[in-house]
Amino acid sequence: MRLHLCTWPQVEAYLARSNAVVLPIGSTEQHGPTGLIGTDALCAEAIARGVGERLEAMVAPTLPVGMAQHHMAFPGSMTLKPSTLLALLEDCLLSLARHGFARVLVVNGHGGNAATLSAAFAETQMVLDGWSPRPDFRTRLVNWWELAGIDRLSAELYGDAVGSHATPPEVAVTWSLFPETADARVLKPRIAARAPFHSAADFRARFPDGRIGSDPSLAKPEHGARLLAAAVDEIAEIGRAFFSAP
């Protein structure tokens, strides 16, 4: 059940039986020469929809742009300042709270969002405490790529070539959703370098094709289907416990 495909009476009827909502958030940023710019948002949305269907829970619209300043030396990337993202998240959470949603499970597709998400949870709770006390309002963040099941499956499929950006697991999930976009050409070096970086320009200088430690040529659409199913299975169990907790 997707919020943006409902009418307000349908949402009102849903809230009469449940206060749970799944909120996907991603990013719009480069993912190497073969990965889609929308990868992080596409993965989060597909997983959230699967979880919503499994739990018969409402799924909010995907927030597709996140904090991706470090990718801005690559064309097509978009970013929000942390302060902008914080305000956006707080307003979205307060809007949901106002209508009676009290359990918000955030499915995140981008590591750069995590710190701001945690800050937004705290900001929202402080506003609610002072504005309209809601001790029942709770948030839970899940970074799908950090799940134990995803770690195991990624290691099985890709060994030491997963890396940390433009990774074969996330690329495979997008290719399973949009198989016509699959591009498994071998890049050079096959496994990209790893190093710290401190700015968008430094990122591009150190990682000229946009990858960090990864070999996305190993990705296959059928891998993506397995990874997507594993993520939905694990997050659905997390959500079931979160939504039913007293």
Encoded tokens for 145: 């790529």
Rounded to whole angstroms, the Cα distance separating 15 from 123 reads 24
Beta bridge partners of 105: 22, 140
How many distinct structural domains can be found in the chain? Answer: 1
pLDDT at 130: 83
Backbone phi, psi, residue 141, to 5°: -100, 135
**CB within 8 A of 102, min separation 6: which ones?**
19, 20, 134, 136, 137, 138
Encoded tokens for 214: 């990864």
Query: Do the bridges between strand 58-59 and strand 103-108 make them parallel or antiparallel, or are there none, so unpaired?
Result: unpaired
Q: Please check whether residue 242 is in contact with residue 104, taking contact to mean a CB–CB distance below 8 angstroms.
A: no
* pLDDT tens series, the chain, 246 aa: 999 999 999 999 999 999 999 999 999 999 999 999 999 999 999 999 999 999 999 999 999 999 999 999 999 999 999 999 999 999 999 999 999 999 999 999 999 999 999 999 999 999 998 877 778 899 999 999 999 999 999 999 999 999 999 999 999 999 999 999 999 999 999 999 999 999 999 999 999 999 999 999 999 999 999 999 999 999 999 999 999 998
CATH code of the domain covering residue 178: 3.40.50.10310
pLDDT at 107: 99
Domain that holds residue 67: 3-244
The answer to pTM > 0.95 is: yes
pLDDT at 210: 98
Q: Please check whether residue 19 is in contact with residue 101, taking contact to mean a CB–CB distance below 8 angstroms.
A: yes
